[in-house]
Structure 1
Amino acid sequence: MLNTALPRRGLAALLGLGLLPRPLAAQGGGVLTIGTATTPSSADPHFYAFQPNFNLALHVFSRLVERDARLRPIPGLALSWTPVGERIWEFKLRPGVKWHDGRDFTADDVAFTIGRVPTVPNSPGSLAGYVRPVTQVEVVDPLTVRLHTAGPHPSLPNDLTFIAIVSRHAGEGATTEDYNSGKAAIGTGPYRLSVFQPGARIELLRNDSYFGGPEPWEKVHFRIIPQAGARSAALLSGDVDLIDEVSSNDALALQRDGRVAIVETQSTRLTFMQPSHATAGGLPDVTGIDGRPLPRNPFLDLRVRQALSLAIDRKALVERVMEGRGTPSGQWLPEGFYSANPAVGVPPYDPERARRLLAEAGYPQGFRLVLHTPTDRFANDSRIAQAVAQMWTRIGVQSVVDALPYSAFSARASKQEYGMWLHSWASSTGEASYFLSNVVSTVDRAKRAGANNWSRYSNPELDALTEKSFTILDPEAREKVLQEAVQVVADDLPMIPLFHLSLVWGVRPGYRFEPNMSGYTAATMVRRG
C-alpha cells in the first residue's frame, strides 16, 4: 500500500487512533447525544464536499479506504489496494459485508458509486475531483475491483477516503432527496439513518450487523446548536454528552469549571482570507474611499494581495482571538507533513510596507470593502474577521464585517457574490494535492478540477504542477513537485493564509472521545469510561 501522507515528526498528542470502531460486543442500550455546530446539508454522501456532510456519512456509509486519527489510510471496505502497473489500482474487498437491508455488498456497488459521484446535480461543491483520474472501473469478480486511470495516480487511495460507497440496488435512479428521506440511505456503516431534518433533528439507529462489530450506542442523536456558548451550556447541563467546535473562550472556561473534560489536537485546517478572482471589473462590495464603485477588481493586483497579507498580525490573532489555540502559517499544511514546504515561512507583519504597496498599486488612500464571514462554521470565525478588518482598516483598507449563518454564507460565496471572505479548509489527506486540486486549481468540469474554487482563481503554471504531481509514483520526486506548487501559491497569494486551528471538543464525565486531525465528531469515536 502506498502512503505518502504520514507526518514526519511528532504532532499534538492524540488519545487514540482509528476512525473505525474496534470489533467489540454491543454494550446494551444507551443513547449518545452530540451537540454540533453546523448542520449537514444533505444525507446524500455525494452531494457536497462539506465536513458536516462527511461527518454524517461516516456513520451510515463506509469507504473503500478509511483514515485513522493521524490521517493515515487504513482498510475499510477494501482489505488491500495494490498498484497493478502504472495505471491500475486493484482493490480486494472485504467478504461478508451486508447492506443495512441485508443484501450483499459487492464490487458492482463500487462501480456504481464511482459512476454516480460526478453526476449528482446542483452540488455547491462536487466530490468529482476525488474520482477524476478514474477512466474505467473493472469488476474482476464480486470481491475484486480494478480502477484504471489515465496515467499514474499515486494519491488515488487517499482520495477515495472521501467517497462513501452506496448500493446500486438502492441508489440507481435515486435523487438526493431520496437519500435525505432515508429511502436510498442504505449503507454498510455502523448506524442506520432514522431521522434527517437539517438544522433540527438527526437520529441514527445502531446497525447490529456492522462488519466492524456493533457499536455501544443503540441510538445517536445529533443536536444542532450553532452558538458556541449554547453548546457549552448544553454540555454543562447534561443535555448533550459531547460537543464540537469549542471556542477558545469557552475552552478556558470549561477547563476552569472542571465538570467536563476538554480534548484537543492539532489540525490541518487552515483559516484564510479569500479574495475574488472571478471578474476583472468592479466588485459590488468593494468601493473607493468616496463610496463609489471601483472600475476594476483590486484583488487581481498582486501588490494589493501582498499588502493585505502584510497588514495581518498572525501571532496576535492566535494569541488574542484564539487564546493560543492555533499556529500561524503561510501555507495550507502544518510543518512536518509530507509535501509541506519548509522554505515557506509565516508571512511577516509589516503595515508600513503594506501602505507602500497599496500606493504603488494605485490606492494611496486605500479603499473600502465588506469582509464576509460565517458566524457558526469555524471556531471564532466572526471574531477573526472582526480582528482582521481592524488590521486592514489601519492601513487604509476600511473594512466592515458582514456575518451570516454558514448556510446562507456558503450559498452566496459559492456563486461568486462576494469580493472578500473568510474561509477555512482542512487538508484531510495530509498532503498538498488535496488543496491544490480542489481549492486553487482552475475550475474545469471536464477534468473535475477546482470543485471548491469559489474565488475562480486560475494559474496555468500551478495547474501544470498539480497535474504533474498526479503522475509521479516515486514519493520523493512527487514531493518536490508538490513543494514547488506550494511555493507558487505562497508567492502569488490566491488566498491569504492566517493559521492552522487547534481542534477542541468538550466531553461529559464518564465518556471518552478519541480526537482526530480531520475534525470529525463521530459516535464511533466515543466510548464509556
Structure 2
Amino acid sequence: MKTAFRALTVAAALVCATPLAHAQTLRWAAQNDVLTLDPHSQNHSTTSALLQHTYEGLTRYTRDYQVEGALATDWKPISPTQMRFNLRKGVKFQDGTPFTADDVVFSFGRINSPHSSLKPFVAGITEVKKVDSHTVDFILAAPNPILTRTIIDFRIMSKAWAEKNKTTAPPNAAAKEETFATRNAMGTGPYRIVSWQPEQRMTLEQNPNWWDAKNASNIKQVLYLPIKSDQTRVAGLLSGEVDLLTDVPTQDVARLKADARLKVMEGNEVRTIFVAMDQGSDEIRNSSVKGSNPFKDKRVREAVSIAIDRAGIQRALMRGLSQPAGLMVPPGVTGYSAALDTVPKTDIERAKRLLAEAGYPNGLDLSFHCPNNRYVNDEEICQALVSMWARAGIRVKLQTESFATYSPRVQRMDLPFFLYGWGVPTYDALYVLQALVRTRTGGADGNGNYWKLSDARLDALIDDIKVELEPAKRNALIHAALTRVRDEHLFAPIHYQVRPWVMTKNVTTQHRSDDKPEARFTTLR
C-alpha cells in the first residue's frame, strides 16, 4: 500500500506541474531530493546542484571546468599566504540588499560553524579579512595551490538576512534540527527558490536582477521533481510531463535512446561508489564478533573487497554504465593515475582464507546499510553484495532507507558497514584524501571521515599535498597516498559512475561530470 500511495502522490505532483509548464519552464526529475536549503549545512550533491542556482561563490566553473570570477571579479596574491579578492560591485541579493565584504566575512564564519559539513571548501583558510566594502583578503595557513577551485562551493549568504531571521549558524542536521534557512533561501544567483515541498517538488523562478543577466538562460522557471520510483520517473518523461531526467534507470537507457522524441547524453561522473568500514570503534554493533572490531584487521578488509564481483555488477546491474574501480579517486580528477587503478580480482577462496587467518574460520555475521534513492542502482547493488559476501562467509543483514534519513545516520557515525559515494567538485584528489582519509580534527581535516580512520603516515602525506605548489612533486605525493589507501584496503571501491541524462528534443544542455546540471548552460526551444 505504501508503494502504491507513493506512486499516486508522485503522479499527482506531475499532473499538478503540467498546467504551469510552458515554453520557458524546465521540468527536471531525479530520484532524490535536496536535504536542506541552507548553503552551509549539508555537503550533498543534489542539494548543491539546486542551491547553486540561488547561492553563488566568489568563483565558479566555465563550461570546460576552468575557474572564472563570480561574486569576485579578480584576485591576486599579496604574499604566499594572503590572497586578495576584489568583489563585484552593484550585485544585490534577491531581497534587494547590496552584496558587500561583510557578507563574505560572515559567510566564512558561518561555514566554519560546528555543524557545517562543508568545511572542506574553506580548508586552509584561517581568516577572511575585510579590506574595504568590496575587497577581502583570505589569510591562509600555508600556500594553497587549488584555493580558487575549493571556494567555488563556499556560497555567500546575506549577513543582514541571516541575522533578521535568526539563522546565523547552520543547524545540527544530524540531530534533525532546523532553522529558517533550512526551508527558505535568498542569495544572489540567477534563480530564486520560491517554494519547496520536501520529497514532492521545488519551484525556482528566474531572478530578473541577476548581475550576469547577459548570460542568463531563456528558462524562466525550473520545476524540480524528486521521484524515487524508476518507473514513474521514466513514465513522466515518456508522457511529456518531464523535460529532463538525470537519474535514468540503466535498464531503460537502450529503449530511451531508440525513442525519436528524446535524446540521451552520457558522460563519466567524478564520483566513486564504495563500501565503508568503521575502523576506529573497539566493537562493531550488530555483529557476531564481541569485544573487538574485525575491520581493524587488514585481512578482513581485503576479504570484503575481493569477494566483490565488480565486473558482474558492471555487466548485470549497471549494463556497462560504470567503470570498475581500484582507487578512491576517479578519472578526470587531478592526481588520478590509471597505472595505480588496479581493480581487485574476485577471489572467494582467498577471502575465506584471509578471514580464517584473521580468526574467523566460520565467517562473520553483521549488518550492512544502504540508501535506496541516492546512487545509480544503489539498493540493487547492495542486494548483489549480500550474495557475493555470503559465498565468502561474510553473512550480512541488509537494511535500506531513504537518503534523507540515511545521511544523518552516516554523519552521526551510527553505521559501521555501509555503501557510500563521494564526488569531487574541486576536480582535485586532495578533496577526497583530506575529507575521507585524514584523521578527523574538527575542521576540514577528516570532515567526511565517518569510519574513524586514522593513519599517521597518510596524515603526513595529505598535509604535504595541501601546500606543495610544484605539480610533479604534488602528484607524486598524491600517488603515494592513493597507493597506501589502496594497499591497506581502507575502503572497498566498487566503481566510478557513468551518468546518462535523457531529455526531450527541445532541451539543449551540457552534461556535467560533477552531476550538477546548470540552468545557465541549458536552453529550451
Both proteins in one fold, TM over 0.5: yes
Q: Does 1:170 align with 2:161?
A: yes
Residue matched to 1:233:
235
Aligned pairs for 1:406-421 (under 5 A) are 406-421=403-418
Q: Distance in 2 between matches of 1:345 and 1:80?
A: 41
Q: Distance in 2 between matches of 1:71 and 1:355?
A: 45
CA change 1:373–1:167 in 2 (3 A) is same
Residue matched to 1:438:
435
CA drift of 1:208 comes to 0.8
Q: Distance in 1 between matches of 2:330 and 2:65?
A: 13
Q: What residue identity is the alignment partner of 2:102?
A: D
Structure 2 SS opposite 1:437: helix
Aligned pairs for 1:267-282 (under 5 A) are 267-281=269-283
CA change 1:97–1:321 in 2 (3 A) is same
Q: Distance in 2 between matches of 1:29 and 1:351?
A: 56
Q: Distance in 2 between matches of 1:41 and 1:181?
A: 10
Q: Does 1:511 align with 2:507?
A: yes
Q: Distance in 2 between matches of 1:105 and 1:114?
A: 14
Q: What residue identity is the alignment partner of 1:255?
A: K
CA drift of 1:129 comes to 2.7
CA drift of 1:340 comes to 1.4
Q: What residue identity is the alignment partner of 1:298?
A: P
Q: Distance in 2 between matches of 1:272 and 1:71?
A: 25
Residue matched to 1:9:
none
Q: Does 1:422 align with 2:423?
A: no
Q: Distance in 2 between matches of 1:258 and 1:372?
A: 40
Q: What residue identity is the alignment partner of 1:380?
A: N
Residue matched to 2:55:
61
CA change 1:72–1:456 in 2 (3 A) is farther
Q: Does 1:219 align with 2:215?
A: no
Q: Distance in 1 between matches of 2:497 and 2:63?
A: 16
Q: Distance in 1 between matches of 2:105 and 2:61?
A: 21
Residue matched to 1:301:
297
Residue matched to 1:468:
464
CA drift of 1:181 comes to 4.1
Identify the match of residue 74 of structure 1 among 38, 59, 68. Answer: 68
Q: What residue identity is the alignment partner of 2:127?
A: Q
Q: Distance in 2 between matches of 1:410 and 1:501?
A: 20
Q: Distance in 1 between matches of 2:298 and 2:517?
A: 39
Aligned pairs for 1:320-399 (under 5 A) are 320-335=316-331, 337-341=333-337, 342-399=339-396
Q: What residue identity is the alignment partner of 1:95?
A: K
CA change 1:69–1:331 in 2 (3 A) is farther
Q: Distance in 1 between matches of 2:345 and 2:113?
A: 44
Which runs of no fewer than 5 residues in structure 1 stay unpaired?
1-27, 288-292
Q: Does 1:114 align with 2:116?
A: no
Q: Distance in 2 between matches of 1:228 and 1:81?
A: 45
Residue matched to 1:34:
28
Q: Does 1:526 align with 2:517?
A: no
Residue matched to 1:25:
none
Q: What residue identity is the alignment partner of 1:313?
A: D
Identical positions, percent: 31
Q: Is the 8 A contact 2:329 2:432 kept in 1?
A: no
CA drift of 1:120 comes to 6.0
Q: What residue identity is the alignment partner of 1:144?
A: T
Identify the match of residue 249 of structure 2 among 237, 247, 250. Answer: 247
Q: What residue identity is the alignment partner of 2:270?
A: T
Q: Distance in 1 between matches of 2:406 and 2:77?
A: 42
Q: Distance in 1 between matches of 2:226 and 2:333?
A: 33
Q: What residue identity is the alignment partner of 2:426?
A: T
Q: Distance in 2 between matches of 1:366 and 1:383?
A: 24
What do residues 196-232 of structure 1 show as CA deviations (whole Å, max 9, x unaligned)?
2221231111101112214322222111111222111
Residue matched to 1:191:
191
Identify the match of residue 316 of structure 1 among 312, 317, 320. Answer: 312
CA change 1:405–1:336 in 2 (3 A) is closer
Identify the match of residue 126 of structure 2 among 125, 135, 138. Answer: 135
CA drift of 1:82 comes to 2.8
Q: Distance in 2 between matches of 1:469 and 1:140?
A: 30
Q: Distance in 2 between matches of 1:303 and 1:69?
A: 44
Q: What residue identity is the alignment partner of 1:448?
A: A
Q: What residue identity is the alignment partner of 1:72?
A: Q
CA drift of 1:53 comes to 1.5
Alpha-carbon RMSD across the aligned residues, in angstroms, is 1.9
CA drift of 1:31 comes to 1.9
CA change 1:181–1:325 in 2 (3 A) is closer
Aligned length: 490
Which runs of no fewer than 5 residues in structure 2 stay unpaired?
1-21, 171-178
Structure 2 SS opposite 1:468: helix
Q: Distance in 2 between matches of 1:37 and 1:524?
A: 22
Q: Is the 8 A contact 2:217 2:521 kept in 1?
A: no
What do residues 119-165 of structure 1 show as CA deviations (whole Å, max 9, x unaligned)?
264x5xx1123223222222223332210111112222111011111
Task: Give TM-score, length-normalised by structure 1.
Answer: 0.88
**Structure with greater proportional helix content:** 2
Q: Distance in 2 between matches of 1:490 and 1:275?
A: 14
Residue matched to 2:207:
207
